[in-house]
Every structure is written in C-alpha cells, then in structure tokens.
A and B are shown apart, each in its own frame.
Chain A
C-alpha cells in the first residue's frame, strides 16, 4: 500500500511538472473532455435530480413540522453545493471514467503499447496521463455546477409538489439564495477539483501498473474505482475540515 501511495505521489508530481506541455496535447484533452461529458451528462442529470428530490423529501417534512419551512431551500441548496454534488459526481466519474481510464491504459500496458511509446522516447505520462488528468480536472467541476443546478431543481419540484412539505417554488429558491453564496459554490468546486486529481492519478497509476493479461486489466479497473472512492471520502473529510477552518 505504501509503495502504491509513493508511486502515486511521484506520478502526480511528474504530471504537475509536465503541465507546461499541456498545450501540445490540447487535441487529446478536448477528446477526453468530450468523452467524459458525453459519458456522464445524462447520468449526472438523472442522479442529481433525484438526489435533490430525496434530500427535500427526507428533510422537508421534519422541518415543516418544526416550523422551519423557510429553510428547506437553504438546507437542500447548501448540502448539494458543499457536499452532495461534489462527492456524488466524483463517485460517478470514478466509476464511469476512472474505470475506463484504468482499462484503456491497462490494456495498453498489457499489450506492450506503452513499451512501444517508451521506445519512441514518448513519455507515457505526457502522452496518456497528462491529457486525462487535465480533462477530468476541468470536466468534474463543470459537472458539479450542472449537478448543483439540477439538484436544486429536483429539490424545488419535490418541495412544492409534496403535500407534506408544500413549500412554494419561489419561497424554496428565495430561502436557497439567502444562504448559498458564491463562496459555497466555490467550496464545492474546490472539492471537485481535488477529487478529479485523485480520480485521474489513481486510475492512471492503476492502468500503468497493470500486469497479467485480461485478468490483470479487470483487477486494475476494480482497484482504480475502489481506491478512488475510498480516497475521495477520506480526502473529503480533511478538505471539509480545512475549508471550515478557512471559513470557506
């Protein structure tokens, strides 16, 4: 485990050092970005809509019962913004894109394509890792913004349509806008950016270290998804503490 962590830190550092070369890989970044958006947008939309709805459904009746109907929008809005949307989208991307990254790079490692790159003096970190990490680091925050907006709508629909809550659409959004400011959105975006780096580095690391044929590829994909999700949750805790201390 410690060797894996060490290797991931080195991979992250080498990817960071390669950042000035990113303009050379613009085409690949755009391709990867399109791939991520194309694969995840519909799923993100459905997921966010229902999570927003469920959040309103869980918290709404209890709050209304205690005379706190004016804060239903605030609770749903803030929870989605700071916590649910970043974590949920990160988990979605880890499963949907992280697995694809690990599988693609892993298959290239098994079938000697990465060795072929090395013999041509093409650094696999520049060619494979850098575009993917950049693309996911841009795509995940964009998806989080989309998810927050859709989640708010989902919460609003349930709040206004459910008889046990019955908070009008306008009152819901007015409550939401009182609490959710730019800093709250920035908080979610900061988290999603860090989660994206975790997904990119963990998945590419697993892919590059794949050995042992199709079974090895399967193992790498599983490890990439599981390790990414575990790390996202751990990082989320510490990041939340840090951002709270910074009054973010």
Chain B
C-alpha cells in the first residue's frame, strides 16, 4: 500500500514496515503510515485485523519483530525514549484501577510522578472530569460506573497527562448509539481544546467517518486503504467496499430458509 500524503507534511507519528507475529501467525505484515500533528487519524477494520496490536506498538506495550515506530522523527525503541513524549491511551475496557476511586484514577499520573501538590491535583481532577461530563463522580469506584462512564473516566485520566498524542482503542465498543455519539464528540472536542494528535482504532464505521481527518483500513494485518474519508469511501478495492458496505440482509436469509 503506497503512503498517502499527510495533511500538512509534518508527521508526528511514523510507522515504517512494521511486522509482528504471534506463534508463527503474522498479525502485522509491514505497516507503513504517517500521522500528522493534531490530526484525528482513524484505523478501521474488521475484528482480528491487527488494529489493537498496531496501537499497542505505538504506545510501546508491544515490541515489533521488525520495522520502526517514530514520534517526531525519533525511533521509539526503548521505554526511556517513549517517556520523553506524553502519549496517553484510552483502553477498550477503560482499564481503570479497580482498587482506586475515580478521582484517584484520574489523578494517578500527577500523584505518582509528584508533579503537583495534592490540592492542585484535586482541582485538576475536578476540571478534567467536568470536561468529560462526570462532575461529582470523584468518590465513586470503577465498579459503580457504566461502560460509557468508565470510558469517559479513562479519557479524563488521559487528559491529565496533557498528552501530545492520545490513542483510543475501540472507544465506542459495548456502548449504545447515543453514548457512542457523545464519545465521538468528546474526541473531536478534545482535539480542538488540546491540539493533541488522536489515533483512534475502531470498527465502528459511523464513528470512523464522523470524526476522521484521515483514515486507514486494516485487513489481515495489511493496510488496504489510506487517505481522507472520501478517498477511502471511493476506494476501488473490493475488501474495502465489502467492509464499508456490509449490511444485514434479512430478506435473503428468510428466502434461503
């Protein structure tokens, strides 16, 4: 897949020939892509196509078999280099620490790195929770929250880091359509407020086309489409069209029966 031009020619994240196998099964087959500073880049594809594996490489949670991931031109090959950049990740499950309250989860980064005084941390936590519409939830435990609330707490926790790059792993999975729209709006709003580069992995077509500046379609570990939403939508490749136009054909099922 040839590399589509970036939006403003300044790649913030650059992936070159990234390959990863698990037990002889190649999950990523030479991924090449660039993400601009401040853009919302969506990676879509069916389940099992390697989207989350790709995302985990970007945040250093997995090491590649070959190929490189660079941030602002620096190859990320050790946790020390990655720690120079503020890269936050919103996990599919929220990944909130179950033994901590909402406020403790959101303030964890600042508290553990001793970046602010406790009173300041409390104020920042309140502010970030307000951004995601969860004022007053400070003392609640993760088990008391719905799926959507957990994701929003996870976003608030990411925002506390004042990240340069935010990675979202399936931000709308398991959520109803109304909450999905809210989460999508949050992602766009946050980009406007913070200017952070956002990389969103999803198989939700509505979300992907709704928020993306540029997007890629991943299938069987390969990028089969890369470009603006309109370019991807008009891709001539069959697998892209199959993914984008898959609908539930009830009539054909009943006729077959």
Tell me whether A119 and B113 are in contact (CB under 8 A): no
A113 contacts the other chain (CB 8 A): yes
Tell me whether A112 and B109 are in contact (CB under 8 A): no
A236 contacts the other chain (CB 8 A): no
**Within 8 Å CB of B114, what residues of A?**
24
Interface residues of B in 94-115 (CB under 8 A from A): 95-99, 108-109, 112-114
Task: Give the total number of A-B pairs whose CB atoms are below 8 A apart.
Answer: 51
Q: Chain A nearest CB: distance from B20 CB in Å?
A: 16
A161 contacts the other chain (CB 8 A): no
A121 to B93, CA, bound (A): 19
Contact of A116 (CB < 8 Å), options: B56, B79, B97? B97
Tell me whether A120 and B91 are in contact (CB under 8 A): no
A24 to B113, CA, bound (A): 10
Tell me whether B108 and A122 are in contact (CB under 8 A): yes
Q: Chain B nearest CB: distance from A230 CB in Å?
A: 29
Tell me whether A115 and B95 are in contact (CB under 8 A): yes
B229 contacts the other chain (CB 8 A): no
A11 contacts the other chain (CB 8 A): no
Tell me whether B98 and A113 are in contact (CB under 8 A): yes
Looking at chain A's contact residues, the main secondary structure is: helix
Contact of B61 (CB < 8 Å), options: A107, A115, A122, A127? A115
B21 contacts the other chain (CB 8 A): no
**Within 8 Å CB of B97, what residues of A?**
108, 113, 116-117
B87 contacts the other chain (CB 8 A): yes
**Within 8 Å CB of A24, what residues of B?**
114
Tell me whether B98 and A119 are in contact (CB under 8 A): no
B201 contacts the other chain (CB 8 A): no
Q: Chain B nearest CB: distance from A14 CB in Å?
A: 13
Contact of A120 (CB < 8 Å), options: B56, B61, B96, B161? B161
Chain A residue nearest to B59 (CB atoms) is: A119
A111 contacts the other chain (CB 8 A): yes
Tell me whether A119 and B88 are in contact (CB under 8 A): yes
Tell me whether A113 and B95 are in contact (CB under 8 A): yes
- Total number of A residues with any Cβ neighbor in B under 8 Å: 16
**Within 8 Å CB of A241, what residues of B?**
none
Tell me whether B109 and A111 are in contact (CB under 8 A): no
Looking at chain B's contact residues, the main secondary structure is: loop
**Within 8 Å CB of A117, what residues of B?**
97
**Within 8 Å CB of B195, what residues of A?**
none
Tell me whether B93 and A111 are in contact (CB under 8 A): yes
A118 to B112, CA, bound (A): 12
Interface residues of A in 100-134 (CB under 8 A from B): 104, 107-108, 111-113, 115-122, 127
Contact of A112 (CB < 8 Å), options: B87, B95, B157? B95
Tell me whether B61 and A119 are in contact (CB under 8 A): yes
User: With A113-B96, A113-B98, A115-B61 given, is the CB distance from A122 to B91 under 8 Å?
Assistant: no
B60 contacts the other chain (CB 8 A): yes
Chain B residue nearest to A112 (CB atoms) is: B95
A104 to B99, CA, bound (A): 10
Interface residues of B in 42-78 (CB under 8 A from A): 56, 59-61
User: With A113-B96, A113-B97, A116-B97 given, is the CB distance from A122 to B89 under 8 Å?
Assistant: no
**Within 8 Å CB of B59, what residues of A?**
119
A41 to B44, CA, bound (A): 54
B83 contacts the other chain (CB 8 A): yes
**Within 8 Å CB of B98, what residues of A?**
107-108, 111, 113
Contact of B113 (CB < 8 Å), options: A104, A111, A115, A121? A121
Give the one of A107, A115, A127 with max B CB within 10 A.
Answer: A115
Interface residues of A in 49-99 (CB under 8 A from B): none
Tell me whether B89 and A119 are in contact (CB under 8 A): yes
* Contact indicator per residue, chain A 152-168, by CB within 8 Å of chain B (1) or not (0): 00000000000000000
A107 to B96, CA, bound (A): 12
| Ranked 10 nearest A-B pairs via Cβ | A116-B95, A112-B95, A119-B89, A120-B109, A121-B83, A122-B112, A112-B91, A113-B97, A119-B59, A115-B61
Known: A119-B61, A120-B88; 11 extra A-B contacts, CB below 8 A, are: A107-B98, A108-B98, A111-B93, A112-B93, A116-B96, A116-B97, A116-B157, A117-B97, A118-B61, A120-B108, A120-B161
* Subset of 14 A-B contacts with CB under 8 Å: A104-B99, A107-B98, A108-B97, A113-B98, A115-B56, A115-B89, A115-B91, A116-B157, A117-B97, A118-B61, A119-B87, A120-B88, A120-B112, A122-B113
